[in-house]
Amino acid sequence: MSELLRLGSFLVFLALGARVRRIRGGAPRRRAVNVLLGYSVALSLLAGATQRDDWPFSSHTIAVGRPRLDAPICMTEFSGVDASGGEWRIDPYSWSPLYDSILQFWFEQRYERLSSEAQGGVLRFLLAKAEAARARLASGKRIGFERRLGPAASPYWLLLPRRPAAPTAYVRLRVQRACWTAASPQQRTRTLLAEHRP
Partner 1 sequence: MPGAAWRLWERVFFRPAAPLGLLACRWLVSLQALWILLSRPDLPELVSWPAEFWSGGDPLLRARFGLLGLPLAVERGLYAAAHLSLLGALLGVAPGVACAASAALLYHFAPLEELLVGMPHTSFGGLTLPVLALFVLAFAERPRWRDAPSAEFRWPLALIQLLFAFSYLFPTLAKLRYSGPGWFTGDTIRNYLLGNHSITQAPWALALAGSPAACWAIALGTLALELLSPLTVVWPGFALAFALVALAFHYGILQAIGYFFPSAPLLLLFLDWDGIARALARRGGSSPP
User: Would strands 189-196 and 170-181 be described as parallel, antiparallel, or unpaired?
Assistant: antiparallel
Binding mask 172-191 for partner 1 (x = CB under 8 A): --------x-xx-x------
Q: How far apart are CA 140 and CA 196, in angstroms?
A: 27
Answer yes or no whether residue 44 interacts with partner 1 by CB under 8 A.
Answer: yes
Q: Are 71 and 181 in contact (CB under 8 A)?
A: yes
In the complex, minimum distance from the CB of residue 66 to partner 1, in angstroms, rounded to a whole number:
5
Among 78, 88, 99, 170, the residue binding partner 1 under the rule CB under 8 A is 99
Distance spanning both ends of the chain, measured CA to CA: 43
Alpha-carbon dihedral sign for residues 43, 48, 50, 52? positive
**Helix (H/G/I), strand (E/B), else coil: 190:** strand
Among 41, 83, 132, 169, the residue binding partner 1 under the rule CB under 8 A is 41
Residue 150 region, left (φ>0) first, then alpha (ψ -120 to 50), else beta?
left
Among 27, 66, 84, 164, the residue binding partner 1 under the rule CB under 8 A is 66
Nearest to 98 by CA among 36, 160, 156: 156
Answer yes or no whether residue 49 interacts with partner 1 by CB under 8 A.
Answer: yes
CA distances from 138 to 122, 135, 169, 170, 171 (A): 24, 5, 10, 12, 15
The residue among 138 and 145 lying less far from partner 1, judged by its C-beta, is 145
Enumerate residues 113-172 that contact partner 1 by CB under 8 A.
113-114, 118, 121-122, 125, 144-149, 153-161
Q: How far apart are CA 107 and CA 82, in angstroms?
A: 22
The residue among 52 and 172 lying less far from partner 1, judged by its C-beta, is 52
Among 60, 141, 190, 197, the residue binding partner 1 under the rule CB under 8 A is 60
In the complex, minimum distance from the CB of residue 39 to partner 1, in angstroms, rounded to a whole number:
11
Residue range at the interface with partner 1 (CB under 8 A); choices 83-91, 109-117, 165-173, 189-197: 109-117
The residue among 61 and 168 lying less far from partner 1, judged by its C-beta, is 61
Residue range at the interface with partner 1 (CB under 8 A); choices 31-39, 80-88, 167-175, 190-198: 31-39
Applying CB under 8 A, the site for partner 1 has a residue count of: 74
